[in-house]
Each structure stands twice: as C-alpha cells, then as structure tokens.
Homo-oligomer: A and B are copies of this chain.
Amino acid sequence: MSTELRLTPASYIVLGVLEALGEATPYDLKQAVGAGLGYFWSLQHAQLYTEPERLAGAGYLSERREESGRRRRHYKVTAKGRKALLAWLAEPTAKLTELRDLALLKVFFGADPKAMAAAQVPAHEAQLSLYEEMREAGVEGLPDGAQITLEAGIEAERIWAGFWKRVGESN
C-alpha cells in the first residue's frame, strides 16, 4: 500500500497543524497557519489542498468527505502520520538556513545600499511592531514552541531593522 513519498517541510506543517487541531479541512489549516506560523513559514492555500491529499494517499492522514452540501474534506492524522511527525520532531537538526534575502541579493550585485535601506527599515520596523503586539496580546496562552518562535522573530526583526538603519546612515 504505502506509496513511498518524500516528506517536505510543508508535509510536516500539515501534519503538525493537523495534530494540534484534531480534525480539519484545508480551510481550517489555512486559518491556523495564517494565525501565526505563516509569518515565518507561509504556504500557498492551494498547497493546503494538495499536500493533505498527497499525505492521505500515502497513509499519513485519513480522509472523510461530507456527503451533502459542500462535500468538504476533513483530514485527521493517522498512527503512521503521528509516528512520522514525532520521529521528525525528535531529531534535532544542525542545518543552517540560508538568508536568501532579496534586498541583500540586490545590494550584493551593486544596488544602492542607501536606497535599499530606506525601503527595508520601515518594513522591518512594522513587522517588529506587529510581533511585539502579538506578544503583548497572547502572553500566557501560547504553547512553548510558539512562544520561542515568536521571540526569534522579534530578535530577527530587531536585528535587521538595526542593520539596515546603520547601512542607511553610513557615510
């Protein structure tokens, strides 16, 4: 049965969110991802339809389809899916993320750093404010992982705002 398939980060996002929600439709996933995770790892909404389908086909999810009306698909993590998720979570990674920052790429190839800074500073500051508000709003309720992730996001935005500010001010 089990069609072999490669599990990508998107796969684990679906598994992880679904595990937290219990049972959900692609639209539920979209809402859940958009509520937080999506800020640092977003997915196209279409992928929240195709990825569960892939996973269900390989036995990581079970699918239940409504009989009437919208015939929505509801997915749930199976034992196999849960096992895969937990195995992935249990394995720490030493992998480093590449920056892949478009603004930096342009500067690397000779774009005017000052002009880039002028565009980047406000953008990073806005994102920083947003994250800080999120922290205020949900101080207690957040699960540990989400809390740590949010802190990471705040630090990152703070750094980049500062970095570009300095670039913009350098003589």
- Contact residues of A between 18 and 62, Cβ < 8 Å to B: 19, 37, 39-42
**Interchain CA distance A119-B104 in the complex, whole Å:** 27
Contact B93 A152, beta carbon cutoff 8 Å:
no
Residues in B neighbouring A153, C-beta threshold 8 A:
99
Q: How many copies does the complex hold?
A: 2
**Do the beta carbons of B37 and A98 come within 8 Å of each other?**
no
Beta-carbon contacts under 8 Å, A101-123 to B: 101-113, 115-116, 118-120, 122-123
- Is the C-beta of A129 less than 8 angstroms from some C-beta in chain B? no
Q: Say whether chain A's binding surface is mostly helix, strand, loop, or mixed.
A: helix
**Residue contact B152 to A41, C-beta cutoff 8 Å:** no
Asked if B97 and A100 sit within 8 Å, CB to CB, the answer is yes
What CA separation (Å) do A108 and B144 show in the bound complex? Answer: 8
Q: Does A77 contact B (CB under 8 A)?
A: no
Chain B's closest residue to A111 (CB) is B89
Contact B103 A92 (CB under 8 A): yes
Per the CB 8 Å criterion, the residue count for chain A at the interface is 59
Q: Residue on B with the closest CB to A103? A: B93
| CB pair B101 A97 closer than 8 Å | yes
Are B108 and A90 touching (Cβ within 8 A)? no
Residue numbers of A with Cβ under 8 A of B are 9, 12-13, 16, 19, 37, 39-42, 85, 88-90, 92-113, 115-116, 118-120, 122-124, 127, 143-146, 148-149, 151-153, 155-156, 159, 163, 167
